[in-house]
Structure 1
Amino acid sequence: MMMRKFMKKAAIVACCVALIGGVLTGCSKSDNNKDLNNSNSNNQGATNEPTKAEDNKQGNKKLSGSIMLVGSTSMEKLSRAVAEDFMSKNGGVIVTPEFVGSGAGIEAVLKGTADIGNSSRNLKDAEKEAGAVENIVAIDGIAVVLDKANTVTNLTKDDLIGIYTGTIRNWSDLGGSNQPIVVIGREAGSGTRGAFEEILKIEDQCAYANELDNTGAVMAKVASIPGAIGYVSLDVVDDSVNAASLDGVAPTAENIKAGDYFLSRPFVMATKGAISEQSELVQAFFDYMYSEDGKAIIEAVGLISID
């Protein structure tokens, strides 16, 4: 009898132990599953790229809005290239370039009708006094272009001064054929004209046969008229014309960087006030212009980037 009671109690204890063990095991498995799920979740967050929402939480704002670039026709290739690249990197931004000449571009930025005034020359003292700030973004060479049939390949600084002031009138005076020199230039207010005349110190002394209002027109006129000579931004020169060497130095980016080619000028993106005073979007645009991406575009269009 005593033995039966003892065995009955032992069976009850065994059952209780089994039940407790099962509960504990179930709890352990549940906790382990939770830990595993949390671990997987953390691992996924560590390996995946952050979402746009996460980017915003981290302080990376998405740019939006518009920028107006107004001014130099010589800066057209650069302006279009950087506008396209900047917009491709910032989907909410529109950059609109307009080409009306350097003087008009600086006037527009001072009036507040443009965010940036493109100028292919240094700013004048009067423009700076009015509040324009000179932000140089690149260096450009000015190429002297001749029609393809011209046999003259090299000109000195004195030759250029004589040609543009009208004291040298025939190519035979410079070793070429007996042919009148047709002097082509840009209109008053052009940054290219301003830089060209300033470098040669012949402001208000030039005797132009034609004064044209954009770079493309100068190229076309020189290409089509025998004996013509003109000046254009180096980055637009193509095989429709010949680009003369100056004082024996070819017009190349390498020679300009070395300081050996004397006809060079800055490309300026003027602002009204310092860059730090501009909108967040305009400041971001200048950050891009001075970044490695911006420098790559500048060099890709044949200009010299600023270090």
Structure 2
Amino acid sequence: MFFKRNLSTFAFISLLFLAVFALSGCGSPKSSPETPDNGVHPSGETELTGSITVVGSTSVQPVSDLLAEAFMDEHPGTNIYVQGGGSSAGIRAADDGAAEIGASSRDLKDDEKHLKQYIIAKDGIAVVVHPSSNVSDLTIEQIRDIYAGNITNWSEAGGSNELIIVVTREEGSGTRSAFEEIVMGKDAITGKAIVQNSTGAVVTTVAGDKNAIGYISLASLKENVKALKVEGVEVTRDNIAAGSYKVARPFIYVTKGEPAGLAKSFLDFVLSPDAQGIIEQAGLVSVN
């Protein structure tokens, strides 16, 4: 009886030992290279996470969307939110802290130069008309006179005997500010102009009216409108880079002070050769 009892006790202890050993082998498996648990890639680089917002120019917005998409593809733990609103709105958002990065399609004004700026690309402002228009080339003086209301009929600029429908951007638009600085000088845009609050709205208006004229970013140029030569020079990337096309301006990102964290990583990416290639594919001129 004693022998049987000891044998049973020994068997129980042996089973218990095996159970504990088995459980210890299932406790906490090592992290696989595919699923690191310390926020570090197998390469040793810290994985980026978090979100930032880029707000501003509707001309810069399409390329910002492309850059944000490419960055998020490389860093799946991040979110880059891109919004329009105009250059002035973007600059204010960065200055007020409402956005990490502001986007502008004009140079900074004196009271905005306390912000840190990064020129990410160069862009031409295309002067556009309806594809059916028989006008193909205007001087800067002619464009100024049209927008000032001094030339009101296309026949005065080598076109048909039709009233000119002038389309412009809203106050605060970076494209308008650049256009006013480069083309208008001290002359004001006529109060009879149709005012649109985005690049897309200008394109739609001009594409829908055979007598309309507008101005847009080269990157937003579509086949449903025709770009005019200015002073005999086509609006192309090569001509903008060479300085021969005069109606050109920078695309700028701005931050309040030195950027840090995800904002800095995104800006570093935007200025990298890969991202500048994306910018060129979008029809803009690289800064590299």
The answer to whether 1:213 aligns with 2:194 is: no
TM-score, normalised on structure 1?
A: 0.79
1:169-212 CA deviation, whole Å, 9 max, x = no partner?
11111111101111100000000000001012435611142111
Q: Which residue of 2 aligns with 1:188?
A: 171
Counterpart pick for 1:244 among 224, 228, 249: 228
Matched, 1:83 2:83: no
Q: Aligned residues, how many? A: 254
2:164 matches 1:178? no
Q: Do structure 1's residue 269 and structure 2's residue 253 form an aligned pair?
A: yes
The 3-state SS of whatever aligns with 2:254 is: strand
Q: Which amino acid aligns with 2:135?
A: V
Q: 1:294: which partner in 2?
A: 275
> Is residue 39–residue 47 contact of structure 2 (8 Å, CA) maintained in 1?
no
In structure 1, the partner of 2:101 is 116
In the other structure, the counterpart of 2:210 is 226
- 1:282 paired with 2:263, answer yes
RMSD: 1.8
Identity %: 44
Tell me the CA shift for residue 300 of structure 1. 1.1
What code does the residue aligned with 1:100 have?
G
Deviation at 1:282, TM superposition (A): 1.1
Equivalent positions of 1:138-217 (< 5 A) are: 138-202=121-185, 205-207=188-190, 208-217=192-201
Gaps of 5+ in 1: 1-48
The structure richer in helix per residue is 1
Larger radius of gyration: 1
1:145 and 1:242 in contact (8 A); partners too: yes
- Normalization by structure 2: what TM-score? 0.84
Residue identity opposite 1:86 in structure 2: F
Unaligned 5+ segments in structure 2 are 1-32
In structure 1, distance between residues paired with 2:99 and 2:152: 42
Please state whether the residue corresponding to 2:267 is helix, strand or coil.
helix
CA distance in 1, matches of 2:131, 2:202: 14
3-state SS of paired residue (2:144) = helix
Deviating 4+ runs (over 4 angstroms): 49-59
**Structure 1 CA distance for aligned equivalents of residues 56 and 170 of structure 2:** 14
Conserved? CA contact 2:39–2:46, under 8 Å: no
**3-state secondary structure, aligned to 1:60:** coil
Q: CA-to-partner distance for each residue in 1:66-86, whole Å, 9 max, x for gaps?
A: 010000001121011001000
Q: Secondary structure at the match of 2:216?
A: strand
Write the letter of the residue equivalent to 1:80: D
